[in-house]
Structure 1
Amino acid sequence: MKKITGFLIVCLLAGLSQSLLAQDNWSAFSQKINAAPFAGKNFKMSGSIKTNGEENAMAMLFFRVDKKDKTMGFFDNMQDRPVNNTEWKQYEIQGTIDAIADSISFGGLAVGNGTYYFDDFSFLVEEAAGSWVTIPIVNNGFENTASASGLPEGWRSFKSSPKMNYSVSTGTVSAGSKTLMLKAAGLEEDGSTAQYTRVAKFVKENYTKLEYDIPMR
């Protein structure tokens, strides 16, 4: 019964997330790579996140596979476990890359007013049982100079509100000497963000991922 209830709650989160993403109060940044060398393999993608703890602020990692048949494969954007911690912590997405994978997109996103920090991304693939290989990520620690958009070399943004601005920060880092900062202020919210964070908090406090077992695709 708990597993069924958890599944239904996470389905509710999925619906709320669609409402959130239809608004102009979020932004995401990413890299895109060729998936062919990794097709059918297990992977781990991680990154470090912290926020300023503003109420209803949400930060997440995401990992998406697009397949050769033009459909979406594996997808996880941490919609069931958003981050609002004020201390650096590493978060991870794990899964299997689709057998007919064409491209992989990965990165981070933020929803709502607040200050968000991202650092130290990594991507590992299991080449043989128990043997994990680190796949290079361009500027994974945001150490290289920022572009005119505020994003460091190798990264791009999409769905970015004019009220959400990227920059490279040296004030707080997880690794190295720089980190990516996203600052959002003056965004209008209709209450769905607060509702989402309440439900997500309940899920995190009362369920493990195995207990709701929802495929993130």
Structure 2
Amino acid sequence: MNKKIVLLVIFSFVMLSVTTVYSQEEKRASDFAPMHQKVDISKYIGKKFRVSAHIRKETFNGNESVTIWTRINLKDSKSGVFNRDMGGIPVSKNWQKYSIEGILENENAQSLSFGLMCTENGDFFFDDFTLEIEETPENWVSIAIQNPGFEKAPEIPEQIWGDTAISKLKFYTASRTTQNPYKGTYALHIKGRGVYGQNDNQGGFIEVNGVKIYHEIYGEGEPLLLLHGAGQSIEAFKNQIDVFAKNYKVIAIDSRGRGRSTDNEQELTYMNQTEDMRLFMEKLNINSAHIVGWSDGGIIGLIMAMKYPEKVKKLVAMGANIHPDGLFPDRLEEHKKTLKRLESQNNPDYKIYIKLYKQLINYPQLQFEELTKIIAPTLIMAGDHDVIEDVHTVKMYQAIPNAYLAILPGETHWLPRDNPTLFNTTTLDFLMKEFKEPKRY
């Protein structure tokens, strides 16, 4: 296939009509909630600064975290030093003071952004923020900031701290509370509930192959499995779940050893993960499903469609490869260096990462001819700046009898994250329309 024909296939698919788009008014799914304000510090160049706050949290499953942070903004709009190190002090249910210190040493420093960030589900409380400058050694002077103790009711409810970011997020709310403030009458309460990958109301575990697979289910309709990439989890599809759940019963899965799913002593391979998915479907009484797989998830989807064709209705494989040589050589070499570094550190916490990198380097070991076994309508998708060589992607498409090809201009391996609207509309257009056998040149 020459380059002109490849481009024709690419653009003919991309220009298909859009069936679903994001509403600009819909709240954005996120697993973290930030809030910040900014202060001009240009007249304090060369001096030390200190940001402090009193914080407490009420935990759910221990996965949540909370921090304060600072960022020095330069005159050319570029960020300087970013810091969220609170000294390693764990946040508990009791009020405790946390501080971050730094030096305004860059002569181009214009302003200091500072704020807070919470992750996952939980109840997070903040009070008594301060910003100080060290005028002379050990002589700290307070700088005025907005509503430091959250005592003042904002004119616009969403602007509790002059920042509306949290009001635009799906799983978080911010409010002033009189519940056990550190100081004064009010404190800030940020509440996180229903974060993808941590939503017990929609989730559960299925035991297969000696591991427990965590999954969450959203929506109604034909089953649609979401399979994430190597170092990812359910959260990777935070920009897809809501959109797909409008038309399908979305089953988002943490692959073994990732997210909340457990692991065992077996080698990590695409084959045993495929068996995980087959048994998982059987235990949920799913005879067949659509599969949307990203990166490693796409590889698992391809193997599922090859080995168990009756299980796959339609398949979308984004940024997948069938052999390690499908990766650009520099990427594969980078993986080898990372594996060597991880193994040399002899850290038990790196066990799953070592398994993942070994899998990326050694697997899959498929041949293009094997893809001819796939009978399910398949969309092979990639960005033209992907980590997978475009020739490899095209050969995969050529080998599958009922396949469409979409290599998206200007996009990368991270298309579902970086341009979710394009990924979602392209995927849904393929899934929802009647499949027409493509012409082959």
Alignment match, 1:15: none
CA shift in 2, pair 1:138/1:170, >3 Å: same
Alignment match, 1:75: 82
Alignment match, 1:211: none
Partners in 2 of 1:95 and 1:193 — Cα distance? Answer: 36
Shift of 1:149: 4.3
Q: Which runs of 5+ in 1 are unaligned?
A: 1-22, 200-217
Q: Are 2:159 and 1:134 equivalent residues in the alignment? A: no
CA shift in 2, pair 1:71/1:109, >3 Å: same
Report matched runs for 1:38-53 at 5 Å.
38-53=44-59
Partners in 1 of 2:73 and 2:94 — Cα distance? Answer: 33
CA shift in 2, pair 1:100/1:161, >3 Å: same
Partners in 2 of 1:114 and 1:82 — Cα distance? Answer: 18
Alignment match, 2:109: 101
Report matched runs for 1:116-135 at 5 Å.
116-135=124-143
Alignment match, 1:162: 170
For residues 143-165 of structure 1, give each alpha carbon's deviation from its aligned partner in whole angstroms, at most 9, with x where no partner exists. 0004544442x431436522100
Partners in 2 of 1:192 and 1:167 — Cα distance? Answer: 30
Residue type of the partner of 1:87? Answer: N
Partners in 1 of 2:79 and 2:260 — Cα distance? Answer: 26
Alignment match, 1:144: 152
Partners in 1 of 2:74 and 2:260 — Cα distance? Answer: 31
Contact between 2:70 and 2:112, CA under 8 Å: does it hold in 1?
Answer: yes
Shift of 1:68: 1.5
CA shift in 2, pair 1:107/1:193, >3 Å: farther
Query: SS where residue 37 of structure 1 aligns?
Result: helix
Q: Are 2:115 and 1:87 equivalent residues in the alignment? A: no
CA shift in 2, pair 1:134/1:99, >3 Å: same
Residue type of the partner of 1:31? Answer: Q
Partners in 1 of 2:47 and 2:260 — Cα distance? Answer: 35
Contact between 2:30 and 2:170, CA under 8 Å: does it hold in 1?
Answer: no
Range with bigger deviation, 81-90 or 125-134: 81-90
Larger helix fraction of residues: 2
Contact between 1:149 and 1:166, CA under 8 Å: does it hold in 2?
Answer: no
Partners in 2 of 1:89 and 1:129 — Cα distance? Answer: 25
Report matched runs for 1:50-65 at 5 Å.
50-54=56-60, 55-65=62-72
Query: SS where residue 170 of structure 2 aligns?
Result: coil
Contact between 2:68 and 2:86, CA under 8 Å: does it hold in 1?
Answer: no
Residue type of the partner of 2:172? Answer: M
- Aligned pairs, number: 172
For residues 37-79 of structure 1, give each alpha carbon's deviation from its aligned partner in whole angstroms, at most 9, with x where no partner exists. 2222101110011000222111100111111133211211238
Kindly indicate whether structure 1 or structure 2 has the higher relative contact order, using CA contacts under 8 Å at least 6 residues apart.
Answer: 1
For residues 97-132 of structure 1, give each alpha carbon's deviation from its aligned partner in whole angstroms, at most 9, with x where no partner exists. 132211111111101000100110011101122221
Larger strand fraction of residues: 1
Partners in 1 of 2:66 and 2:89 — Cα distance? Answer: 6
Q: Which runs of 5+ in 2 are unaligned?
A: 1-28, 198-232, 234-257, 262-348, 350-441
Shift of 1:188: 0.9
Query: SS where residue 78 of structure 1 aligns?
Result: coil
CA shift in 2, pair 1:147/1:59, >3 Å: farther
Shift of 1:137: 1.4
Partners in 1 of 2:132 and 2:173 — Cα distance? Answer: 29
* Structure 2 residue corresponding to 1:178, chosen from 180, 183, 186: 186
Query: SS where residue 176 of structure 2 aligns?
Result: strand
Partners in 2 of 1:193 and 1:174 — Cα distance? Answer: 34
Query: SS where residue 156 of structure 1 aligns?
Result: coil
* Structure 2 residue corresponding to 1:30, chosen from 27, 36, 39: 36
| RMSD between superposed Cα atoms in Å | 2.4
TM-score w.r.t. the length of structure 2 is: 0.36
Contact between 2:86 and 2:98, CA under 8 Å: does it hold in 1?
Answer: no
TM-score w.r.t. the length of structure 1 is: 0.71
Contact between 2:127 and 2:148, CA under 8 Å: does it hold in 1?
Answer: yes
Range with bigger deviation, 69-78 or 58-67: 69-78
CA shift in 2, pair 1:73/1:193, >3 Å: farther
